[in-house]
Amino acid sequence: MNNPTKEVKTNLRRRRIMKKNNQGGKDLIKIIKGDIEIKERMIFEELKLKSLHFKEKVILRHTWNGKCVYLKSKKVKLAALEFTNYALFWWGQM
């Protein structure tokens, strides 16, 4: 397992090196800000995807409800059109 004293020593060495190079504080702040920006971007992208998924579900529900309102004759025509579309696609794959 990891030795905690060894980790503390390596952290102290890193801090000393950073102080010698006068980069310590600024680089750490940049890294922290970078992590925050990356996390914010990931959260926003996730929210966008969730909203798009929700919109897709709403659209599918509305189209499904719209299909249910058709008369029987229109439902038959719609089914025939969908079947021919699938048949043409299948024929094109052969």
Whether the per-residue pLDDT at 92 is higher than 70: the answer is yes
- Cα dihedral 86, 89, 90, 92 in deg (nearest 10): 160
3-class SS of residue 70: coil
Give the pLDDT score at 1: 47
Least confident among 5-19, 26-40, 71-85? 26-40
Per-residue tokens: 60: 């599918």
Mean pLDDT of 72-83: 77
Residues 6+ apart with CB under 8 A from 70: 78
Question: What type of residue is 5?
Answer: T
Helix or strand run (H / E) with residue 87: helix 72-93
Whether the per-residue pLDDT at 88 is higher than 70: the answer is yes
Rounded to an integer, what distance in angstroms lies between the CA atom of residue 39 and that of residue 45?
10
Whether the per-residue pLDDT at 83 is higher than 80: the answer is yes
Signed CA dihedral, 4, 6, 8, 14: sign only: negative
Average pLDDT, rounded, for the chain: 67
- Stated pTM of the model: 0.25
Per-residue tokens: 6: 């060894």
